[in-house]
Amino acid sequence: MTPSPSERLGAGTPRLSLNRWTFRTTPLQEFLEVTAANGIDAVGLWRQDVAEVGLEALRRRVDDAGLRVSSLCRGGFLTAAAEADRTAALEDNHRAIDEAAALGAATLVLVVGGVDREDKDLIGARSRVTEAVTALAPYAEERGVTLSIEPLHPMFAADRAVVSTLDQALDIAEASGSPAAGVVVDTYHVWWDPCLERAIQRAAASDRLFSYQVCDWNLPLAAEPLHSRGYMGDGYIDFPSITAMIKEAGYTGDIEVEIFNEDVWATPADDSAKTIAERFTQLVLPSA
């Protein structure tokens, strides 16, 4: 017999991970405690958390709360053309990889960076990303860290990520020649992609599907379009359908809920965690 949602919640919500940024207005320690208290076993952390309390202390707090780290956000920003900027970016990514290793994070998420408004050279920016990921992957591999290249929604192609589709991210991962380079599927960024199912299968076939993140596509778009992410069920995304593709691909890892949304940030953390667990149990878990 299928357990009811409340029975499931009582026993914890398997595979659910709460991304730290969903609770950015909540103090770190409270975030970890709310997560654990709601029977959720994993969190996605940010480098800002490392900066705030230090790497050792962060690791200890997460351990003390009995949590796994499903991902660390974020490395990347690899599109700069000037040599000094490129070198600085690679060094910063080395530190991010070290942090992911120290936290035992399942993967490091890479947001690759935007296009230079002066040269507008989208194709050049993309090839610099490929070069940089190829350079970073062996460093990650040696430390047991995987790199999840994140295709961002095309509305961020100019200013945040010149990688807009899962196929593009896979092209870059494969070009690196390293098994440590792969992709994250974030529903907000890729739900619209007509090639999504095929690309997820492709990621699975090359063992490069490292992370699955969920949230809804809310309309009207928020004034800051990054913040139009919503609770699953509040927008237009068909979670059972996309989650079934991910399952089909053999993904068995944590599923992170990452919501940037002013209303969510204004909600008490425990209420948000409960809403997320409910929606996850209704819309994601049955197909996962």
**Which residues lie near a copy of itself (CB under 8 A)?**
115, 117, 120-123, 126, 153-155, 157-159, 164-165, 167-168, 191-194, 217, 219, 221, 223, 225, 235-238, 241
Nearer to a copy of itself, 55 or 155 (CB): 155
Q: What is the CB neighbour count within 10 angstroms for residue 33?
A: 17
CB of 83 to a copy of itself, least distance (A): 23
| CB of 41 or CB of 216, closer to a copy of itself | 216
What is the nearest approach in angstroms of a copy of itself to the Cβ of residue 211?
A: 21
CA 91 vs. chain centroid, Å, equals: 21
Of 6 and 192, the one with the shorter C-beta distance to a copy of itself is 192
CB-nearer residue toward a copy of itself: 17 or 168: 168
Round to whole Å and give the CA distance between 161 and 231. Answer: 23
DSSP symbols for 26-85: S-HHHHHHHHHHTT--EEEEEHHHHHHH-HHHHHHHHHHTT-EEEEEEEEE-----SHHH
- Beta carbon nearer to a copy of itself, 1 or 123: 123
Best CA proximity match to 255, nearest among 184, 180, 169, 150: 184
Q: How far is CA 219 from CA 164, 235, 254, in A?
A: 20, 7, 27
Nearer to a copy of itself, 105 or 245 (CB): 245
- Least Å distance, CB 235 to a copy of itself, is 7
CA distances from 2 to 6, 206, 212, 286 (A): 11, 34, 24, 10
Nearest distance in Å: CB 126, a copy of itself: 7
Cis peptide before 86 (omega within 30 of 0): no
CA separation, residue 71 to residues 7, 19, 110, 175 (Å): 28, 8, 11, 23
CB of 135 to a copy of itself, least distance (A): 21
Name the minimum Å distance from CB 129 to a copy of itself: 12
